[in-house]
Amino acid sequence: MAKRQLNRRQNWRIEKIQGERAARAAKRESQALQTLEGGDLGPEQTGLVIAHFGVQVEVEALEGEMAGQVFRCHLRANLPTMVTGDRVVWRPGNQGIGVIVAQLPRNTELCRPDPRGQLKPVAANVDLIVIVFAPLPEPHANLIDRYLVAAEHAGIRPLLLLNKADLIDEQNAVALNAMLAVYRQLGYPLLEVSAHQGDGMEQLMQQLNGHVSVFVGQSGVGKSSLVNSLLPEVETRVGPLSELTGKGTHTTTTARLFHFPGGGELIDSPGIREFGLVHVSRDDVEAGFIEFHELLGHCRFRDCKHDREPGCALLKALEEGRIQPQRMASYRHILASLPEDEY
Ligand SMILES: Nc1nc2c(ncn2[C@@H]2O[C@H](COP(=O)(O)OP(=O)(O)OP(=O)(O)O)[C@@H](O)[C@H]2O)c(=O)[nH]1
Ligand SMILES: [Mg+2]
Ligand SMILES: [Zn+2]
């Protein structure tokens, strides 16, 4: 009991300190904004958010003589949260600083829950989600399936990318190939590359050319290494795997957008520990499993939970091998993790 009270008091203190810190940052921000607004601001123009840091974002000018230049921008009050890939209306100020006046509508929005389970957009206006995995850190099919559900939900095309092909060996090949076979059979585009040795990188480049893509996946799979290999003039930070756990060490901390010389953009995003899907419904999850599409609506009971109901079209397909056991397990795992009311 005493311990719990102490924890509550500690929590309260932490929240108080964090609240004060946020208030101070907001005050500094509004003072900076006032100074800027009081000075000479250039005309309103469109820009592209290429990275964001707490309350400030980096905007690339898209128009006029300043096109291509990057400005650190403050946000006018009451604007929604900006993410990498957002198009905005902004006004340049002095010394590479500017003010964002408005956010332009997004075509697409890739979201994921933050550690508190609140839904946060991570990238805007992308048309290709590149789901990166590798022999090491050990890949999880369930995480890939979660990304596939999120991609379907957001209406964004997925591409599966196995990086570190140079690390495929006798020990991991069987399990890896079995996993790849599952996705090939489902018809998902899949590439095997090595950022280090260059294998497959040209095909990857072809797939990305002209698109706005975002690299997602566990920490340590080599997303930033792929960026460095695709765009040699970019030198984004790469970090080793933990010797203790074999997992990534969360090197990239903010999503950042890069341009391809021939057109198209690429967003490198921070790796994640796990990808909860709290914002989707049971229907959304089912819609994210493409092999279910032709079966849904064919169960005997309209509210079938595909658990052990008689006359279930999904269970029958599972028995007949038209649904792969790994995918059914993944589906159940995702459903079990949704909040109660969705389940
Ligand atoms: N063997 C091998 N190692 C690679 C390859 N690509 C990346 N790595 C290594 O994998 C580790 C992690 O690479 P990063 O590029 O930092 O991974 P990341 O996905 O960006 O990680 P986060 O930023 O933490 O999400 C580094 O030690 C890289 O050198 C590859 O093709 N082959
Ligand atoms: Mg990285
Ligand atoms: Zn059913």
Domains by residue range for the chain, with CATH: 42-105 (2.40.50.140), 109-268 (3.40.50.300), 282-337 (1.10.40.50)
Confidence of residue 35 (pLDDT cuts 50, 70, 90): confident
Q: With 70 as the cut, is the pLDDT of residue 341 above it?
A: no
Sign of CA dihedral 178, 179, 181, 186: positive
Q: Is residue 135 over pLDDT 90? A: yes
Least confident of 59-73, 117-131, 185-199: 117-131
| % of the chain exceeding 90 in pLDDT | 64
Contacts of 283 (CB under 8 A, 6+ apart): none
User: Is 200's C-beta closer than 6 angstroms to any atom of ligand 1?
Assistant: no
Angle, helices 223-230 vs 201-208, to 10°: value is: 90
Chain-centroid distance of CA 269 in Å reads 6
Is 220 in contact with 248 (CB distance < 8 Å)?
yes
pLDDT surpassing 70 at residue 3: no
Mean pLDDT, all residues of the chain = 90
The torsion region of residue 259 among left (phi > 0), alpha (psi -120 to 50) and beta comes to beta
User: Distance of CA 70 to CAs 43, 73, 101, 250, Å?
Assistant: 16, 9, 16, 26
How many CA atoms does the CB half-sphere of 315 hold within 13 Å? Answer: 12
Cα–ligand 1 centroid distance for 27 (angstroms): 39
What pLDDT was estimated at residue 116? 66
DSSP string, 102-124: EEPPPS-EEEEE-TTS-EEEEEE
| pLDDT for res 321 | 95
The predicted model gives 71-81 an average pLDDT of 89
Lowest average pLDDT, out of 26-35, 123-132, 190-199, 221-230, goes to 26-35
Report the separation in Å between the CA atom of 249 and the middle of ligand 2, taken as the mean of its atom positions. Answer: 9
d(CA 284, CA 274): 19
| 298-323: average pLDDT | 96
**Alpha carbon nearest to ligand 1 atom 30, residue:** 164
Q: Is the CB of 195 under 6 A from ligand 1?
A: yes
Ligand 1 centroid to Cα of residue 219, in Å, is 8
- Span 34-53, average pLDDT: 87
Q: Is the CB of residue 252 less than 8 Å from the CB of residue 267?
A: no
CA pair distance 8, 342, nearest whole angstrom: 30
